[in-house]
Amino acid sequence: MSESLQYHEQGKPGKLTVVPSKSCRTAKELSLAYTPGVALPSLEIKKQPQNAYRYTGKGNLVAVISNGTSVLGLGNIGPLAGKPVMEGKVVLFKRFANIDGFDLEINETDPRKLAAIIASLEPTFGGINLEDIRAPDCFLVEEELCKRLSIPVFHDDQHGTAVITSAALLNALELVGKNLQDVRIVFSGAGAAAIACARMFLNLGVKKEQILLCDSDGVISTARLRKLNKYKAQFAQKTNKRTLAEALQGADVFIGVSKGNIVTVEMVRSMATKPIVLAMANPIPEISYEDGKAARPDLIMATGRSDYPNQVNNVLGFPFIFRGALDVQAIAINTEMKLAAIRALSQLAHEPVPVEVIKAYGRHFRFGPEYIIPKPFDPRVLYYVAPAVAKAAMETGVARKKVTILEYTASLKELAQQLAKGKFLG
């Protein structure tokens, strides 16, 4: 049996359990936990719904929801086969931000019906993390939920990827001395992650005409407009370029969110001076790290893998974005909150790396071509990103609760120490 299968099967199958947060060992405690004592908080919530955040676990509970139509690199494997992945996501919420989660695998492929099912769950949760729903369905589901719900909705395949990729891009451009307004960016992939990244780049200041998206049929151009869905169509460009190879000629940046081994050494060599390649297909990137570096000594490169420098890993984003959103009882995760997370991650990569991170990875790190984004096991990510997100939520009017940022940051530093010691894990 493989190590992975043994890990998932040993002891209690799966990766999750439910543990009460209050004692229930005596007759009195039983009467408080359930009838008759439980009636009082129920009546208080009936009078004022916001009291649910005082008397229940709603405020620290996120639903990790998928219909299994686009799971990791496995494709449409269905909701049941996707359950190990969703359980894993819940584990990451707990490990990195002490957020409780339930994984919910829903057997529904109609996006409107799926949105309706998820919307009906709002009383239970403080936030919704959508996961592994195929494009373009994922856009419709998220749009519908954001209209209907007053709790944060976050599709991690879109926005988590966009946040981490944007932080990496900002720092890589700083190192090569190029400006966002001037660079030409080429995408391989035109699904959820690519479109979310492209939208975020526009928010950062990249010019729309400087972005070319490529899907399996080639460059997203106006010549194909009639056959494009509305999400791809918004990035259609008037261009004579038709293939990925043609698009990459003279490009400053390559963003890969597609499949492995589709970029050649020759393509990288055709790019502009000091190119940036973020080849994030997993487990096999669009071009291997070795081939990319061999093609261009002036290259800055990142992948989605942990065994090479500059891993673009969504775990740097979603636990901490939700932590900040939940702690101010935000009604949404808006663009300003995502931009705040990007800037916090970008800033953190410039800071000296603490000893515990060096021990975790067995090497030193310093801001530069092989360290453009922080590492997932850096405890500082929690108290850099979450306060930035909370602050942005308060400033943009989507927070229902106010916190003092200095005090909040101090509390997160204590939490980070506890998390590093594994306090909240079984």
The string of DSSP codes covering 196-244 is HHHHHHHHHT--GGGEEEEETTEE-BGGGGGGS-HHHHTT-B--S--SH
Angle between helices 405-420 and 83-97 (to 10 degrees): 120
Which one, of 135, 291, 314, lies nearest residue 215 by Cα? 135
Query: What residue type is assigned to position 78 of the chain?
Result: G
Residue where the block lists tokens 């008037």: 238
Q: What residues have CB less than 8 Å from 79, skipping those under 6 apart?
A: 66, 67, 68, 105, 106, 107
The number of helix segments (H) and strand segments (E) in the chain equals 18, 10
Residue 355, token pair as written in the block: 């000893």
Catalytic residue among 15, 89, 94, 375: 89
Catalytic residue status for 34: yes
Given the residues 34, 55, 208, 423, select the one marked as catalytic.
34
Contacts of 164 (CB under 8 A, 6+ apart): 312, 313, 314, 316, 317, 345, 373
How far apart, in whole angstroms, are the C-alpha atoms of residue 393 and residue 197?
21
Surface-to-core class of residue 420, CB atoms within 10 Å of its CB (0-12 exposed, 13-18 middle, 19+ buried) = middle
Question: What is the spatial distance between Cα 149 and Cα 325, in angstroms, rounded to a whole number?
Answer: 14
Q: Is 231 a catalytic residue?
A: no
Q: Which two tokens stand for residue 380?
A: 């500082």
Q: Name the strands in the sheet holding 218-219, side by side, starting at the edge strand that comes first in the sequence.
A: 218-219, 211-215, 185-188, 253-256, 276-279, 300-303
Look at strands 211-215 and 218-219 and give their pairing.
antiparallel
Whether the CB-CB separation of 275 and 296 falls below 8 Å is answered with yes
For 87-119, give one letter per residue: b (16+ CB within 10 A) or e: bbbbbbbbbbbbbbbbbbbbeebebeebbebbb
- Give the three-state DSSP class for 18: coil
Catalytic residue numbers read: 34, 89
